[in-house]
Amino acid sequence: MLRLFRMAPVPRTARRLRTPRTTGAVGIALALLVSAPAAGAFAAPAPAPPPSAKSPFALTNPRIVAHFDFKAGQTPENLALEPDGSADLTLALARQVVRVDRHGGKHVLATLPFVANPQTPLVGAAVVSGIVRTKDGSLYVAYNTGTAETGIYRIAPDGEVTKFVDLPADGFANGIALDEHLGLLYVADSVLGAVRRVSLGKEPEVTTWATGAALEPSTFVGANGIKVRDRAVWVSNSDRGTLLRIPVEKDGSAGPIRTQATGLTGIDDFAFAGHGTTVLAALNTEASELALVRPNGTHTIVLTGADGLSGPTAVAIRHHKVYVTSGAFLTGIDPNLLIADAAQPKAENGKESKESKEGKQGKEGKDDHGKSEDHGKTGDNAKTGDNAKDEDHGRRKDQAKDEDHGRHDDQAKDEDHGRDEDHGRRDDQATDENHRQDEDHGRRDDQAKDEDQAKDEDQAADENSSQDEDQAADEGSAQDEDQAADEDSAQDEDDGSRSRAGS
């Protein structure tokens, strides 16, 4: 994000020398400008060339919506967008965060704490740089002081400013990227050539996530802008003019650093255009340019100083509007916020995107509706024979379509009817089989009942026969007993008669 000037290569230790603070924040910036080799000999801004025919993005109607006071340290460094289209800007040397509404109105949201003796690497002054916004409306900003106050600060929706986490005082925290899904911040360190990861939450943890020569400065400012896209962290290196991609591995660690684009002199912050990997990058040089960087690494200049840019530092995109901040660190003239309109993007394979096609179809529909209205105004007065032929041809085509449609419908009905009949036959067959099974089951039940009844009858007969036999035996025994008694009685009578006769 922050890129004050370019200078000849110097030893690594010299790059960390503190700039004297006796001149004040604005004096520091002006002194740096004067000491830069190209200072006082700025190239005249050239008009922006038309976008390439292969460009998937075209910018129109660039206009400055807000101007700032360079002498007061109001140097726009980075921005985050609000849902209503307002932009929250960090003013690097003023230590402020300001909101610019859609009409250009400005409102200071917060001022970062004053530091009596800042020892910030590169500039020696307290500097506010990167900014991101979370869904709850909180803003997280990077604040560099060269002291224990260096770190990430949180600005609550009510404006309360609190320090969120400490960062190394000998580094320079520049751009910030947000991975809200995983609750992580990624911070580019321009001096130490590193990417740090900060976990969001009540107990944030800071880790050095990625390092390497590709992230280090060659003269002054190394890793600068940073974004998260496509399971990777993308980083710009201002000194090397490169755009880098660092894949996020499954365990969250950093994969190998890959160079996606080169030749982007003075690249600062950047933003993705659409859902792919096409990028709009701020080139913070004397020429003040905005470049469109394609996925294959080539780029086209789409805006320049002639459009209002003055040392562009950051880019953001929302709803086909492109926001560009200019810090004027190299020009000293008119720091501002510029907005341009973005044409419907095309897919990266050269074909129009679905959104573009829908928009074009909608426009064509409106144009056709207008043509129909114009035709209606004149058609009643002068219908030509060709029109009548067209209408007749249209009727024949419609009739043919209807007949063909009818045949298709009849065929479909026949097929449905055939399927219904086949289904009915299968249902009837299943019903007959079930009926036969029920009848067999009924016959078996009746047979079992008959067998049980026969058994019951035999058992009853046996029981009755036994009873009859017992009864006959009882009756025979009784008769025998009666007969014996009669015989005994007759004998007794005979014996009595004989006894009387003898007497």
Residue 462 in any domain: the answer is yes
More confident call, 245 vs 498 = 245
Q: How confident is the model at residue 289 (pLDDT cuts 50, 70, 90)?
A: very high
Look up residue 305 and give its DSSP letter: G
Examine the fold and report which residue of 328, 351, 374 is the final residue of a domain before the chain moves on: 351
Q: Say if 203 falls within a structural domain.
A: yes
Give pLDDT, residue 473.
Answer: 41
As a whole number, mean pLDDT of residues 115-139 equals 97
The mean pLDDT of 362-366, rounded to a whole number, is 41
For residue 396, what are its two tokens?
A: 């024949």
* Burial (0-12, 13-18, 19+ Cβ within 10 Å), 147: middle
pLDDT score of 136 more than 50: yes
Predicted local confidence at residue 52, as pLDDT: 42
Q: Are residues 295 and 444 in the same domain?
A: no
Rounded average pLDDT over 109-126: 96
Per the CB < 8 A criterion, the answer to whether 174 and 193 are in contact is no
Handedness of CA 215, 279, 63, 78 (dihedral sign): negative
Per the CB < 8 A criterion, the answer to whether 2 and 266 are in contact is: no
- Shared-domain flag, residues 446 and 335: no
Q: Which domain holds residue 290?
A: 17-351
CATH number of domain containing 92: 2.120.10.30
| 107 & 255 share domain | yes
368-401 b/e (C-beta count within 10 Å ≥ 16 → b): eeeeeeeeeeeeeeeeeeeeeeeeeeeeeeeeee
Residue 270 lies in a domain: yes
pLDDT at 256 over 90: yes
Q: Does residue 273 sit in the same domain as residue 401?
A: no
Q: What is the pLDDT of residues 139-197, one digit of tens each?
A: 999 999 999 999 999 999 999 999 999 999 999 999 999 999 999 999 999 999 999 99
Q: Region 283-299: what's the mean pLDDT?
A: 97
Residues 389 and 341 in one domain: no
Tell me, yes or no, whether 6 lies in a domain. Answer: no
Count of domains forming the chain:
2
- Whose CA is closest to 288, among 321, 323, 317, 330? 330
Mean pLDDT value across residues 226-245: 98
Q: Please give the residue that has the higher pLDDT: either 59 or 14.
A: 59
198: pLDDT confidence band, cut at 50, 70 and 90?
Answer: very high
Q: What is the mean pLDDT of residues 210-222?
A: 97
Q: Is residue 359 part of a domain?
A: no
DSSP code at position 344: P
Domain for residue 43, yes or no? Answer: yes
The predicted structure's pLDDT at residue 39: 32
Same domain, 309 and 432: no
**pLDDT reported for residue 146:** 98
Instruction: Identify the sign of the CA torsion 485, 487, 489, 492.
Output: negative
Q: Is 11 inside any structural domain?
A: no
The reported pLDDT for the residue numbered 274 is 86
Q: Do 405 and 467 belong together in one domain?
A: yes
* Domain shared by 232 and 104, yes or no: yes
Answer yes or no: is 290 within a domain.
yes
pTM of the model: 0.65
Do residue 333 and residue 391 come from a single domain? no
407-420, pLDDT tens digit by residue?
Answer: 544 454 445 444 54
SS3 292: strand
Domain boundary among 332, 351, 370: 351
Which of 331, 351, 371 lies at the terminal end of a domain, its last residue? 351
C-alpha dihedral sign at 146, 77, 93, 97: negative
Q: What is the pLDDT of residue 20?
A: 33
314 and 416 both lie in a single domain: no
Rounded to whole angstroms, how far apart are CA atoms 172 and 19? 14
Instruction: Give residue 343's pLDDT band: very low, low, confident or very high (50, 70, 90).
Output: confident
User: Max CA-CA distance within the chain?
Assistant: 194
- Beta-sheet strand order (sheet of 194-199): 173-179, 184-189, 194-199, 206-211
Based on the fold, state whether residues 137 and 200 are members of the same structural domain. yes
- Yes or no: say if 225 and 175 are a contact pair by the CB < 8 Å rule: yes
Q: Are residues 56 and 116 in the same domain?
A: yes
